[in-house]
Structure 1
């Protein structure tokens, strides 16, 4: 390899330590990238790829982005899961000998973003670390660098529980040991779509001892916490004064929602569009502040199990609900409260500007007003919240006395500190202002002395102050006093001894004023750091108030009712789906009751597609979740049970990343439910068994129902199109049949969306296909086939030109008796072929269907069919 220039040697040395990141290497007003970084960045950012000669014929690939607009390019790379190492000059080029010294001052990663334009106001930006131990336990640590939060979770339930936990949190990056098995690393990448980073050094830094007070010297928690702290410190390369004490999350204190349930119930985002609109969060988020919106999302993701805590939230919501005028005042006041959490983070991080400090000041000024409104409630818990609203008054006084009301964005160009705050600054400003007044007076005097009306005194950064005279008036200037400074096309510029002397005083005062203002700003920022714990506590209280008033606001707007909590009997009168009724808007949503108790803890739901079975199941789960996060619920009245877990198997989807079919996903989700559920759990299973043959599907569906009934005793909703399963009501004491009403009118099905006791008598599949606008010829043919199957008078074998698709001989009709007719027809047709077929016919003839259960009949028919084949 040919010898590199000193600058490229410096670049390659720095790049060697940051192989997993794009190195933004500062050269003048640009960040430059070279070699592979340049090739990849040019493609990802869609910018021009050039070459640096470097004395070699082929050149070095090179591209760059302007320093002043680098944030936009960094954001694009971070959004794609990349990392960016920022390399800056760390010494003055004027005093440097040789190549200016450069260092990486920060590594920006998907999980360590701090710039406000790269963050979403209402969402946390978590980075997580995962530590896997030899005893099979795992520890996950979450950190939101923008707010300083630290949360730890110990998981003893195996690797699947780790995946479910990480999936349910909005993480962008996971920090792991390089020794984590490759198959586990691959699963993290593929299933969670996160950036993996590596940190093997787990020695705990004594500087962060105060952050670990809640860990109680658990070595596993300490190692996991150290892994993440060391990684953050390594990448951010600065003091992190805003990090909060670690909170250890006890999973047994929260309702458990696996990754399937969170996805199927669309709690925080929809399945198809992956957006907030159409989710439960979308309905409930009537918060006013960004930090309140983030807290609401965390509450939805972790509903409570403790009845006292739940009912305390409901008490406060009820207080806000009743005091609607005061609640409106709270909402109006909160509109002027900015994101205290992230402001505190930016102050500690050192990337705060003067406008941020004005937002902080305006927020603190609103706290007394908010406290006054809260004290108007005659409510113990709300008054307690008011008492918690303590803010640092000295900080407010500091901000009020120091920062101008409308400062510029830049903190290095002056005009941010108020007059009267610093005596030396006032002196500089006075010299600058008086000097400019002197300049104005001098211009007026020079015009009079020379009688040149167009004479003017100007200034530019290159030549300083000057007297400009047009060439037509040069003869009017007295000789000897004016010194030529610059020649223009139509004028000459001069300087006089008096002007030169004053220029030095003015410029010196301005430069010193700007430099002092920056120093004062840094001093003020460092003073504010001492109040960060106070600001974070205040942010937490304000967020709680915001979420609870939002619950009251949405409950009043949507006619939600406060639920009661009971031990065994769940009763919901006229329950509604909170999202569906919001989307419909026209008030046409049909409410339904739900009744589950120890006597009847399984509801077997039948009815046609599109009739509302899945909606009915989902609305129960959402009602439970809303109740356990502290919100009122969509119904006329509700007695709810506090559930420990919710399991759902709703909807059909392949898991292409894992190479799993729809049916495999269905079985995995069903297995996860029946393996982990308790008698305090809620299970929702929709159309189990539809992904395989009818015999297999029905057998599995019945076996699952029986297993839940006999072994788990969980409250369960089980919807199915296997109408034969409705006979289980006779053999399973705790199972009850319900169905969704539908009527047929002039060949079309009319969905009434009403739940009634008993089993449905038809599936209306052809009518639903008709609603989907399938070709009329296809609908007619399907109707003919259905008539033949149901009557048992199918006389000719279907040919390819007569059918749209083949009918599987193993598919069941609606009733077992009809299956007997179908098989009987086939047997009679094949009797002539061999003596074996005659034997099958005889066996079929000997069957006494009326003394057989549906499953016995199916098994017998299945055996006969195998003999025929």
Structure 2
């Protein structure tokens, strides 16, 4: 469209759009937010709204789409959830008062990382920077004001931390390499927002490494550039080090089902689900944070344990405490809404309701009379003056919106009360005047009515026009009647209309003033929120411990693991206590590796996860699922459990397996815990066995971490004869009359065989197939034993052993040829069944 044909309003739109080219621009026009050009076309498709056009008769009509302003939030949420940015352009003046085109400005840019319209979880916006060989990482939850910073030496560690934070958007403060950009956008699915500008702030007034201050100041600048307002709820920057907490990769957390069930993606079946007896949104968020970042400080762990112990000792007081939290709202998020200028009367009432509960909670905590609670209780701020302000100012029946009135409580403002009196009593004055004039004029059906056009008027039918007094003046003439006014009626009307208009404006101003006063308490509210959340989580852990009969774990510095009758807490909760078979786990000072043998389905993986979950629960400060537990404090947990391809980066299961093994080997220390399940099975048998053995030897000789290594390679059990810090354990099996029962019990020593065919039998494979498998197994074992008798090492056999003839009983070459031609990697189970049936028939004829 040529420049001269663009209207002033569209020019205004184009000017604003040029400032925010990477965002959908919602342009306020009356009761709608409009989108134009490419934004309109794309939004119509994404939001499933109608696509129309502006200037339809023009040669090139402008594509247009719109959403009602009162329901815009749901459309904004949809776009942000899909990974887009949305810029909100509001009318900055009343259209009636505008000279020329109405002034509009972008008042906020909502992005995936700054969205605050969330439920209970955190939404962290991340920023990264690079300087002098170090990567800086800062992150912030705009909805709560939390603000953290750290630095790392490696880009992969940087990515790992972003994955753990579940970031959706990253602010990039340096020039990314092509590989880094690909990893962030393709593998991590992050929205990249470039911002290399810095912003000074009192929030950054801490002594930190240069890279941390750089990245934090860039994050702060981006937040202010998108939110376009002062954010009084942002909290001072907090420095942390990854090594200050128990380190776990996202893959480790997923494999252990810490925050969600890895198979379903749901909360149910996770450690978070098990422990979440919190009563507040603040407590729920804090519990997630504790599970994400277990402690490594014995002092901090003991502080949490001591409080849980107190709560367990005093059941009735704890019950009262739990009940008192039911009236506590998310004051952390309410404080941020005040800062954003979005808090409504209902929000302030929720804040006030919470403050009424704080003295109750504090009194209950004081009744415990416990030194472990003394510091927390003494610092708990009840904010009585803020509670008094809210309940003195806000009507208990106030609506959520600001335009419907009835927000401010009677008695709070004298002038507002005067206006309300005029509105309230004006109806009485009119009724009194109507009765008086009806008697004075003798018009029996004389009445006063109201409409927007004529205001208040006397309604007189044509039959009574001769009785109308001289001081009535005509306002309107209808077919069968006329409308009249009087000076007295006009005065009352003027007083009532003035009161209604000024009352509405004054009530809004009073609410804004009250909200401004509440804003002064934001820092105190945030501190109170943290205290309430801490108490909420600790009472939740006490409830879980009592309900499930958990015990308080002890810790040692001798690197001894002693868990008596331990249980996998989540599996136990799902199955029920009576169904679950506990296992003791013991590592003395000289034992670093347990080599676990036994068939699938027998409980090896559960046993391994049980140890990791017990350690994590203990280092959160929680009690654990066992008869007793004495543990070292681990600095990191590394796992390789289960098989999964990384399809996005094109890595096979075996490649992922080797990468995770490498991470453990390179990063683990003697204070770490390693869980390896069936490592090496993703390649040829002897390759896998060779790798598994060399990994075990390397961990034993050079790493020294406590390790559980589950394997099907029974040949590896011989390693216990020459590796002094390795012991064999196996899953106990009951075998009677060729029937096998898995006891799910770990016992000392190696397993004598794999029982794989027995597992296949349980799975329901055909008897004829199982018989054939047993025959083949017997041949293989006989051959293997002969090779061992000849003094040849297990791993070296592949070099000299010829391919065994699996059909030594004389099956025709046709079967062998058919098998060689099969592309089993691309064969589905449904396609394989008829082929298997046909081969069976051939074998039967041969026999």
Settle same-fold status: TM greater than 0.5: yes
Residue deviations 1:609-664 (CA, integer Å, cap 9, x gap): 11111111111111101100110011110001100000000011111111111111
Question: 1:110 corresponds to which residue?
Answer: 112
Change (3 A) 1:218 1:487: farther
Alignment of 1:229-240 (within 5 A): 229-240=220-231
The separation in 2 between residues aligned to 1:585 and 1:449, in whole angstroms, is: 87
Structure 1: stretches of 5+ with no match in the other structure: 793-812, 822-846
Q: Displacement of 1:449 after TM fit?
A: 4.9
8 Å Cα contact 2:636/2:672 also seen in 1: yes
Question: 2:204 corresponds to which residue?
Answer: 212
Question: 2:151 corresponds to which residue?
Answer: 154
8 Å Cα contact 2:731/2:751 also seen in 1: yes
Change (3 A) 1:759 1:443: farther
The separation in 2 between residues aligned to 1:522 and 1:451, in whole angstroms, is: 51
The separation in 2 between residues aligned to 1:271 and 1:297, in whole angstroms, is: 16
8 Å Cα contact 2:757/2:774 also seen in 1: no
Q: Displacement of 1:249 after TM fit?
A: 0.7
The separation in 2 between residues aligned to 1:694 and 1:63, in whole angstroms, is: 62
Question: 2:33 corresponds to which residue?
Answer: 31
Task: Select 1:789's aligned residue among 766, 770, 776.
Answer: 776
The separation in 1 between residues aligned to 2:554 and 2:462, in whole angstroms, is: 94
Task: Select 1:550's aligned residue among 534, 540, 546.
Answer: 540
The separation in 2 between residues aligned to 1:24 and 1:186, in whole angstroms, is: 30
Q: Displacement of 1:766 after TM fit?
A: 3.0
1:316 aligned to 2:285? no
Question: 1:128 corresponds to which residue?
Answer: 126
8 Å Cα contact 1:147/1:342 also seen in 2: yes
Q: Displacement of 1:856 after TM fit?
A: 4.3
The separation in 2 between residues aligned to 1:546 and 1:439, in whole angstroms, is: 57
8 Å Cα contact 2:636/2:671 also seen in 1: yes
1:572 aligned to 2:587? no
Change (3 A) 1:98 1:727: same
Task: Select 2:69's aligned residue among 67, 70, 75.
Answer: 67
1:525 aligned to 2:515? yes
Question: 1:503 corresponds to which residue?
Answer: 493
Question: 2:657 corresponds to which residue?
Answer: 666
Change (3 A) 1:504 1:772: farther
Change (3 A) 1:595 1:414: same
Task: Select 1:360's aligned residue among 345, 351, 354.
Answer: 351
Q: Displacement of 1:476 after TM fit?
A: 8.0
8 Å Cα contact 2:331/2:529 also seen in 1: yes
Change (3 A) 1:97 1:309: same
Change (3 A) 1:491 1:676: farther
Question: 1:22 corresponds to which residue?
Answer: 24
Question: 1:753 corresponds to which residue?
Answer: 744
Q: Displacement of 1:746 after TM fit?
A: 6.5
Residue deviations 1:414-469 (CA, integer Å, cap 9, x gap): 21111221222122222222222212323343454566676554444454334446
Residue deviations 1:692-739 (CA, integer Å, cap 9, x gap): 111111111111111111111110000011111111121211111111
Question: 2:832 corresponds to which residue?
Answer: none
Change (3 A) 1:48 1:754: same
1:395 aligned to 2:383? no
Q: In structure 2, the residue corresponding to 1:348 is in which secondary structure?
A: helix
8 Å Cα contact 2:788/2:794 also seen in 1: no
8 Å Cα contact 2:173/2:215 also seen in 1: no
RMSD: 2.3
Change (3 A) 1:442 1:602: same
Change (3 A) 1:458 1:299: farther
8 Å Cα contact 1:608/1:742 also seen in 2: no
Matched residues, number: 803
Question: 1:819 corresponds to which residue?
Answer: 784
Structure 2: stretches of 5+ with no match in the other structure: 806-819, 821-847
Change (3 A) 1:452 1:66: farther
Q: In structure 2, the residue corresponding to 1:88 is in which secondary structure?
A: strand
Residue deviations 1:294-344 (CA, integer Å, cap 9, x gap): 011111111111101111110111111111111111111111111111111
8 Å Cα contact 1:607/1:760 also seen in 2: yes
Q: Displacement of 1:220 after TM fit?
A: 1.3
1:694 aligned to 2:634? no
Change (3 A) 1:499 1:745: farther
Question: 2:175 corresponds to which residue?
Answer: 179
Alignment of 1:449-464 (within 5 A): 449=440, 456-464=447-455
Change (3 A) 1:637 1:217: closer
8 Å Cα contact 2:295/2:301 also seen in 1: yes
The separation in 2 between residues aligned to 1:458 and 1:585, in whole angstroms, is: 73
The separation in 2 between residues aligned to 1:86 and 1:475, in whole angstroms, is: 58
Q: In structure 1, the residue corresponding to 2:801 is in which secondary structure?
A: helix
The separation in 1 between residues aligned to 2:684 and 2:113, in whole angstroms, is: 46
Residue deviations 1:267-305 (CA, integer Å, cap 9, x gap): 112212222221111111111110011011111111111
